């Protein structure tokens, strides 16, 4: 998906959402749904769960910005596009989000339901047999009523058991299990201090259903399968064995790889407080990866600086420098190719227009190095005078750069005549009287942020 300045095109949002803007309860801020939905699928699936859980808890995260009804995230399956739907729709809002199911959908659902109920019964039995075979579980029961200690509400988990002191509920996930049910049960067992583990009959990497993802992405990217063969193996080995499918993180831009292995329940990490049970710690492993994006941006900034210092050395006048760098970014040092498409890390507007701001870059690099770069001056203080005199609209940034690179002392030392001190006093006065003269020129802001990240946030 294409990334644009607005982020709208890159979003998983449907093209023309009925609810176009939502109110974020926590901040009271209004936001376009394209931005809220965003372009990160994993984050989105986790958000979907959080939004649903908020509604179940009576603390909705998002409200329709028009009618203030709580809304939740739905997915248009065929195209993997998401939208917000009202929890209630009584006609008072102009946004219509609750269409009736088509006849076809209803038929498909009841057909799948009938087909799956047989499998469902079998899976419960396989679970019970496997748990019993291991000898590690007590109070193994199928379809036993579980009454909440605090709430008094009750559920009937497919299978329940005690694993040491921990009460565990197993639910078989079928294609007819929807997010509502998943969110609600998750919350119930969380409040019970118990752990809910979802099991699947199959888990197709290519055609993964959204409801499978609702479980998978909220379980540290681990999923479990119960089948006749895991049951047989459990009975033969006297262990509770499951087939685990998990994702292993890769560097940014690469799809995580799915792995599959038969594991024993004693290899699982159990986290009732997050309702996660996992064999492979996806989140933990991902944290160990270097942030690839940052690394590349830093490398590009370093390459750019190297190139700039070379140009500044070889071409003493700014006029010549402007000529040399005019072809940028189409013409950039070939060594940069190794970084991947340079374009990705450059502000988009550099492909359309403004030439590199030679004086701005010279002054900032001078501040960074504490000596004149690309300017025919002897002392750093002469650069400071040049900057203040000729580029008032960049002065707020230069001042920040002088502070960040600790050039105050150097300026003081080189200010033998006190001329700099007087100039500072004068422009400070003028900044107050005529602030519009010093309003920062933001044409090159994104470039400066890329090349001089230590100056962020720019005034």
Nearest approach, Cβ of residue 285 and Zn ion (Å): 41
Nearer to Zn ion, 93 or 358 (CB): 93
Q: Tell which positions 128-147 bind Zn ion, by CB under 5 A.
A: none
The piece of 89-97, 98-106, 312-320, 443-451 that touches Zn ion (CB under 5 A) is 89-97
Nearest approach, Cβ of residue 61 and Zn ion (Å): 15
55 Cβ contact partners less than 8 Å away, ≥ 6 residues apart:
70, 72, 87
Nearest approach, Cβ of residue 357 and Zn ion (Å): 46
When asked if residue 14 is in the footprint of Zn ion (CB under 5 A), the reply is: no
Distances in Å between the Cα of 261 and the Cα atoms of 56, 246, 247 are 35, 9, 12
Task: By CB under 5 A, name the one of 9, 24, 42, 66 that touches Zn ion.
Answer: 66
Instruction: Judge whether 249 and 289 are in contact, CB under 8 Å.
Output: yes
Nearest approach, Cβ of residue 39 and Zn ion (Å): 25
Nearest approach, Cβ of residue 48 and Zn ion (Å): 19
How far, in Å, CA of 204 to CA of 292, rounded? Answer: 29
93 Cβ contact partners less than 8 Å away, ≥ 6 residues apart:
64, 66, 67, 69, 86
Nearer to Zn ion, 17 or 347 (CB): 17
When asked if residue 64 is in the footprint of Zn ion (CB under 5 A), the reply is: yes
Nearest approach, Cβ of residue 92 and Zn ion (Å): 8
Nearer to Zn ion, 64 or 194 (CB): 64
How far, in Å, CA of 140 to CA of 129, rounded? Answer: 9
Based on C-alpha coordinates, what's the Rg of the chain? 30
Nearer to Zn ion, 51 or 233 (CB): 51
When asked if residue 93 is in the footprint of Zn ion (CB under 5 A), the reply is: yes
When asked if residue 67 is in the footprint of Zn ion (CB under 5 A), the reply is: yes
3-class DSSP state for residue 67?
coil
Q: Say which DSSP state 156 is in.
A: -
Neighbours of 59 (CB within 10 A): 11
When asked if residue 65 is in the footprint of Zn ion (CB under 5 A), the reply is: no
List the beta bridge partners of residue 83: 74
The piece of 91-99, 108-116, 150-158, 310-318 that touches Zn ion (CB under 5 A) is 91-99
How far, in Å, CA of 135 to CA of 163, rounded? Answer: 10
Nearest approach, Cβ of residue 77 and Zn ion (Å): 23
Count helices and strands in the chain by DSSP H and E runs:
15, 16
Nearer to Zn ion, 88 or 261 (CB): 88
Q: State CA 195 to chain mean position distance.
A: 27
Nearer to Zn ion, 64 or 450 (CB): 64
When asked if residue 95 is in the footprint of Zn ion (CB under 5 A), the reply is: yes
How far, in Å, CA of 371 to CA of 369, rounded? Answer: 5
Neighbours of 47 (CB within 10 A): 19
Nearer to Zn ion, 95 or 247 (CB): 95
Applying CB under 5 A, the site for Zn ion has a residue count of: 5
Nearest approach, Cβ of residue 11 and Zn ion (Å): 20
When asked if residue 305 is in the footprint of Zn ion (CB under 5 A), the reply is: no
Nearer to Zn ion, 67 or 458 (CB): 67
The piece of 7-15, 95-103, 248-256, 269-277 that touches Zn ion (CB under 5 A) is 95-103
DSSP labels for 15-61?
SS-SS-EEEETTT--EEEHHHHH-S-HHHHHHHHHHHHHHHHTT--S
CA neighbours closer than 13 Å in the CB half-sphere of residue 242: 27
Nearer to Zn ion, 64 or 312 (CB): 64
Q: Tell which positions 234-273 bind Zn ion, by CB under 5 A.
A: none
Nearest approach, Cβ of residue 103 and Zn ion (Å): 27
Nearest approach, Cβ of residue 89 and Zn ion (Å): 8
Task: Summarize as ranges the residues that interact with Zn ion (CB under 5 A).
Answer: 64, 66-67, 93, 95
């Amino acid at each position: 998906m294409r990334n644009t300045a607005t982020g709208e095109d890159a979003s998983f949002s449907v093209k023309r959402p009925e609810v176009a803007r939502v109110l974020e309860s926590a901040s009271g801020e209004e936001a376009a749904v394209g931005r809220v939905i965003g372009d990160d699928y994993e984050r989105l699936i986790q958000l979907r769960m959080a939004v649903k859980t908020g509604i179940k808890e009576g603390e909705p995260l998002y409200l329709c910005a028009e009618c203030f009804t709580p809304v939740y995230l739905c997915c248009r399956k065929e195209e993997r596009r998401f939208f917000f739907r009202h929890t209630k729709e009584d006609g008072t809002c102009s946004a219509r989000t609750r269409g009736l199911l088509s006849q076809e959908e209803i038929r498909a659902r009841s057909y799948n339901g009938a087909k799956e109920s047989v499998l469902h019964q079998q899976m419960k039995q396989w679970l019970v047999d496997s748990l019993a075979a291991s000898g590690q579980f007590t109070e193994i029961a199928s379809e036993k009523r579980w009454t909440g200690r605090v709430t008094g509400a009750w559920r009937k988990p497919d299978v329940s058991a005690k694993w040491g002191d921990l009460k565990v509920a197993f639910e078989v996930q079928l294609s007819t299990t929807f997010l509502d049910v998943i969110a609600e049960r998750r919350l119930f067992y969380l409040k019970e201090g118990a752990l809910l583990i979802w099991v699947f009959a199959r888990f197709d990497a290519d055609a993964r259903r959204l409801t499978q993802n609702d479980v998978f992405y909220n379980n540290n990217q681990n999923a479990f399968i119960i089948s006749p063969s895991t049951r047989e193996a459990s009975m033969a080995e006297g262990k509770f064995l499951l087939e685990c499918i998990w994702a292993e993180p890769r560097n940014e831009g690469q799809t995580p790889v799915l792995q599959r292995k038969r594991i024993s329940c004693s290899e699982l990490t159990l986290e009732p407080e997050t309702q996660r049970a996992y064999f492979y710690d996806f989140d933990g492993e991902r944290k160990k990866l270097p942030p690839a994006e940052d690394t590349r941006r830093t490398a590009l900034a370093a390459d750019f600086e190297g190139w700039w210092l070379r140009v500044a050395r070889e071409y003493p006048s700014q006029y010549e420098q402007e000529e040399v760098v005019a072809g940028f970014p189409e013409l950039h040092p070939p060594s940069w190719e190794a970084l991947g498409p340079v374009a990705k890390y450059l502000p988009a507007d550099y492909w359309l227009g403004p030439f590199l701001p030679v004086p701005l870059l010279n002054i900032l690099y001078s501040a960074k190095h504490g000596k004149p770069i690309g300017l025919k001056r002897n002392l750093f203080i002469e650069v400071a005078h040049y900057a203040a005199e000729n580029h008032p609209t960049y002065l707020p940034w230069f001042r920040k750069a002088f502070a960040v690179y600790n050039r105050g002392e150097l300026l003081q030392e080189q200010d033998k005549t006190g001329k700099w001190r007087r100039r500072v006093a004068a422009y400070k006065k003028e900044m107050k009287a005529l602030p519009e003269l010093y309003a920062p020129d933001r044409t090159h802001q994104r470039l400066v942020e890329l090349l001089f990240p230590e100056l962020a946030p720019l005034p």
